Structure 1
Amino acid sequence: MKLVYIITAQILFMLGVSHIKAQAISFPDPNFKAAVIAAGVDTNNDGNIQKSEAAKVKKLYVNNAGITSLVGIKNFTGLEDFGFFENKVKTVDLEGMKNLKFVYGFRNEITQVKLKGCTNLVEVALDNNLLSSFDLTGFNELVEIDVNWNRLQSANVSNNPKLQKVKMFDNQMTEFNADGSLELTELNLSWNNLEELDLRQFTNLRSVKLVDNLLRKINVTGLSALEVLNCEAIKKPGLLTQINTSGLMNLKEFKW
């Protein structure tokens, strides 16, 4: 009888171990796994990250860890705040992570970002990367976007009803669309290649910075909340010959 109990106990133990292994998340990039463990996610100290452990994490920062791949991140189903500064990530796929609010990926090598289904996004910051285009439309909670020092040629941030701040300076943009994002208060598109902008729909704008573009035409008439308007042309002065400032009753700083 004792032998039966012993064998049964061994079988149950082996089944338990197998179950734990089956729940362990696969991280193709060992540096990402090591950074996650260093962040304290491995609560049972078995050297792996179980799905149950990942699901409890709300904030995860894995900065300056030599990471090249974020595969495995989608197992962090409760994640709200994610930072991965100063790594070597090229593709950011966070699609379907509906609890995610904050994404900070400064100073990587990002050429592609996927955020579809991240319905609670509040802020996205991807400065100092290699993005050539950026499309983030129809996010109901989105408030701020920072994609400075990239290689953007076009950007679409339209139909984001709570979007207030957009900073995309020092890129190569010839096209920018924010139609329907009517709560915009701050817009910085300096050091791009934009030739024409009509900002009249954004009646809440307080600061517009368009330093060193190729502007030939800009329409800001009637923007009564506008306090700062900077369209200085340093490299190619003289392209913009006229700006109609009628209705800009609160303008305090005006350069062109």
Structure 2
Amino acid sequence: MFSIGDFARLGLVSVRMLRHYDAIGLLRPAHVDPATGYRSYQAAQLSRLNRIVAIKDLGFTLEQVGAILDDKVSTEELHGMVRLRRAQIEEQISADLARLRGVEARLRTIEREGHMRTDEVVLKKVAPLRVAELSGRAASYDGEDIGPVIQPLYAELMKRLHEAGIKITGPGCAYYLQQDDGTVMVHAAVEVGVSEGADVDFLNLPGIETAATIIHTGSMENVGPTMQALAHWIEDNGYRALSLSREVSLHCPDNRDEWVTELQIEVT
């Protein structure tokens, strides 16, 4: 038998924690001296303590821990719970990092206010395109919502075209359409020279008579300053933006910092 202090040291927990576990019936001492109230524990109880701490640290409440232990959870089931929790934590970390990158990109946009690259805007006519595309719905225009939709769309589009033996004849062209419910329909398209042969949508994108365009270099996560420079140029030069806008991928190596994308907004 071990005193509560010794048992706490062996189990790598605090005495206060053991007293709390006793109070809520989660881990009762093996013996309580009726005269002094001193608690004593057996080495075999370390097994239950290990399970309590492991399950609690997975994010479960102590009430849930008790229910899980009452079901006599096995070691393999504990490993499964750890794997599930790891996946959840990794997903949360990924989301938090994406949100942090978004904040940093927004700060860069703020820093460049008043120093926009409006001299790089070019007015031009854009020819019609024959494209193959896949589409999906995003909650908003926020990069956190668009990215997880458009990236898998392009991966799947390329896969289907490759499997069908369809040759891509031009750059990728993404465009977005606002929906009545506030969501955004995301279209991931590439130029092709055929009209059928794969499980994708084939269509003709209309030409743009007058497009205000600007080149963005780098990841699309950092497109804010470039996009807003284009917006300032349109307004400062007496134009009005129409609904049609596109992102044309001119160069997309593995390193996203080397991406080259032309932003196009139809103007009048």
TM superposition score category, shorter chain reference? under 0.3
Structure with the larger helix share:
2
TM-score normalised by structure 2 residue count = 0.27
Higher Rg: 2
TM-score normalised by structure 1 residue count = 0.28
Structure with the larger strand share:
2
